[in-house]
């Protein structure tokens, strides 16, 4: 089967997935900056801005919130790629079956 005709659509879909992933990653990074600002502001109000508390809070934030969010973004992207692969293979198999059925009918 000739899949060259599909390539522009597949390329556009891959590009759209990458753009969604990049936007989601940018959103996670922006949220991290906002949350860090809030942590530092709270530490400043408590008078411990230059103590160890902000660094511990940042470490906990990275471990409990930031990294899971990044993993979720990547997982969503991978799921989209897997769906693209599956749908492409299904489409190619369906076209192949149709072509074989047409060849059988023409041979009969």
At 85-97, the pLDDT tens digits run: 898 889 888 988 9
Average pLDDT over residues 11-32: 94
Give the integer Cα–Cα distance in Å for 52 and 71: 27
Give the integer Cα–Cα distance in Å for 77 and 14: 10
Distances (CA, A) of 3 to 8, 9, 12, 30, 102: 10, 11, 15, 40, 18
Secondary structure (3-state) at 19: helix
Distances (CA, A) of 30 to 61, 83, 106: 14, 28, 61
Q: What pLDDT is stored for residue 79 in this prediction?
A: 95
pLDDT digit string, tens, across residues 42-84: 888 887 766 666 788 889 999 999 999 999 999 999 999 999 8
Angle at 67 between CA 63 and CA 73, to 5 degrees: 160
């Amino acid at each position: 089967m000739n899949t060259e005709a599909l390539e522009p659509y597949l390329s556009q879909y891959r590009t759209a997935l990458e753009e969604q992933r990049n936007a989601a990653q940018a959103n996670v990074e922006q949220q991290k900056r906002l949350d860090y600002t809030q942590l530092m502001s709270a530490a400043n109000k408590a008078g411990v801005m230059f103590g160890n508390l902000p660094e511990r809070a940042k470490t906990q934030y990275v471990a409990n919130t930031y990294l899971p969010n990044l993993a979720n973004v990547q997982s969503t992207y991978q799921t989209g790629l897997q769906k693209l692969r599956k749908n492409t293979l299904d489409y190619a198999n369906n076209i192949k079956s149709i072509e074989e059925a047409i060849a059988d009918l023409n041979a009969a």
